[in-house]
Every structure is written in structure tokens, then in C-alpha cells.
Amino acid sequence: MLRNLALALLAVVILTSLAAAQRTLTVKAANTEFEVTLPDQQLAATDAELTTYVTRGATAIAAYFGRFPMKHVKINIRAVGGDRVRFGRTTPQAGGTIMMMIGREATADALASDWTLTHEMSHLSFPGVKGDHDWLEEGMATYVEPIARAQAGYLTPAYVWNQFVDSMPKGEPATGDRGLDNTQTWGRTYWGGALFCLIADVEIRKQTHNKRGLQDAFRAIMQDNGTMEYEWGIDMIFAEGDKATGTHVLETLYAEWKAKPVEVDLDKLWQELGVVKTGDSVTFNEKARLAAIRKAITDSR
């Protein structure tokens, strides 16, 4: 009994110590208050550097969606080994909570080059999708994150399109693929969803003479309470998005891609957009047929 009592007391001491080791940093950015909980004296990054990190993510999201989706967000930072950001996860708890694992040795440069927090903030700006449609939630965030950072001035368009050229092939269907709704591999979930978003974006812009894009669809969805606090059916999401662009692109594309593999001729797409791979980077052909669409996707609104 005494041994059990001692263990119980030790647990209380440990929990109390852990609680005392946490502190809160308040960051105000994009008309939103971020309550950042972080371990005390365990990170190389300073409060000023963490404030900049949060501010840049919030600014990028506001640039893409027109505003930040919520007025108050909790960010819980956990210190882990290493010198970079390791992981992030977002839940609708308390209106919006993001958990970030950041390396103890991560510097300001590591935070500035990280994509994870902006990706997680993208999730706050989109409804939870009812059913097995992780590809839409993760694909949306994978597609939006670099574009949002480019529109906020943190990435160059060349960086974004180089990433797309290198990574979009990961989203192509492999042998045995049964469509986006039925193929839950990592590549199809993240980059298959992102590829769906890219093709939808280009097609919306083609049909509207570049006056509307997927960004308009996502903005309309968020403005209609389409944030992580709410769950929507996928048909409702696409109907709302199509209404905002005056097209049927999302509903039509989903009908084609949901239950069968659809391969995209990416080489042809890059050529039409004027994206030319040169070594480890890209250059742009401004005379390409869809060059104006490419520019509109990453240009600031």
C-alpha cells in the first residue's frame, strides 16, 4: 500500500512539474488571437521567432481565403528531438486546435522554410468531410499551402510550380487503383487530392475565361460556415463550390474520379501552362496557351 501511495504521489509531482513547465504566448495576427502553449526553456526558437512563424502562417491563410476563418485558435507546441518542424495535427476542439511538434534545435530559418503550420491552418478553413474522403481534406491543404504562401509573398511562383512538377506524379493512380474514394494510399490521399484540385482549378479558369478559380470556390465554402467546426457532405461541398464559380467542374470531376483511376497527362499540362523543368528548378514560357492561368493561380488577389 505504501509503495502504491508513493507512486501516486510521484505521479502527482511529475504532472505538476509538467504543468509548471508550460507557458502561454499570445500572438495576434490576421484579426485572430492565437493562444500558443509551449514548453518553457526547451526550444532554441525565441518567442519573437515563434510569433513570426505563427504570423506568417495566418497571413498566408488570410491571403488565400480572404480572411482567417476563426477569431481564436489554440496552438499546442511540443518539443521533440531535431532541428526542424516534425509534425502537425488539427482538430475542431475548442473551435480550432493545432498541435505542432517542433525540434528543440529548430532555428528561425527552419521555421521560415516550414510548410506544416500553414498546411494545418488550411484545415481550419475547410469543413470536415463526412465519410471516407480524406483525399479531399488533405489534398486541399496540400494544394493550398504553397499557393497561399506565394500569394502572401513568402514563396516565389517558381518554387510552387517546381514543387508541383516534382510531386504531382505521386498522386497519379497506380496498378489496382479504384478511384479517389476507394484508394487510401498516402500518395493518392495527399497528392491525388492535390492533383484533383489543380485540374479543377485549371478547368474552372478555362471555363470562366480566367475570371474565377478554385480559390473562389474555397472562399465561398468558408464564408458559408464551411470551417473545421462543421461537417459537410462531399456533394454539398462541391455544389457550393460550383455555385461560386458558375460552373459544374467540381461535381463533374468528382463523378469521373471518385470510383475509377483517371491518369493526367502532366507533361502536356506543364507545357500548356508554360512550366519548363530545367535541372532542379523551373522557368516559365509566357507564350504558352495557359500561361495566364498559371500566373493567376499563384498571383496575389
pLDDT at res. 95 = 82
pLDDT at res. 14 = 41
- Residues 19, 22, 26: CA angle, nearest 5 degrees: 135
122 membership: H or E segment, kind and range: helix 116-124
pLDDT at res. 278 = 93
Q: d(Cα 69, Cα 219) in Å, to the nearest integer?
A: 10
pLDDT averaged per 10 residues in sequence order, the chain, 301 residues: 45 44 95 96 96 98 97 96 96 91 97 97 97 96 98 98 98 97 97 98 98 98 96 98 98 98 98 97 98 96 77
Domain 2-124 homologous superfamily, CATH: Neutral Protease Domain 2 (1.10.390.10)
Domain segments of the chain: what residues?
Answer: 2-124, 128-298
Set of cell numbers at residue 299: 498571383
**From the centroid of its chain, how far is CA 136?**
11
| Length of the chain (residues) | 301
CATH of domain 128-298: 1.10.390
pLDDT at res. 3 = 44
Whether the pTM exceeds 0.85: the reply is yes
Max CA-CA distance within the chain?
81
pLDDT at res. 260 = 97
Nearest to 28 by CA among 9, 50, 54, 47: 54
pLDDT at res. 94 = 84
Q: Which residues pair with 26 in a beta bridge?
A: 35
Q: d(Cα 43, Cα 84) in Å, to the nearest integer?
A: 11
> Which residues have C-beta within 8 Å of that of residue 171, sequence separation ≥ 6?
139, 187, 188, 190, 191, 192, 193, 194, 195, 196
Cβ atoms of 236 and 136 within 8 Å: the answer is no
Tell me, yes or no, if the two domains 2-124 and 128-298 fold the same way: yes
pLDDT at res. 21 = 85
pLDDT digits (tens, 9 = 90+) for 252-284: 999 999 999 999 999 999 999 999 999 999 999
**From the centroid of its chain, how far is CA 264?**
22
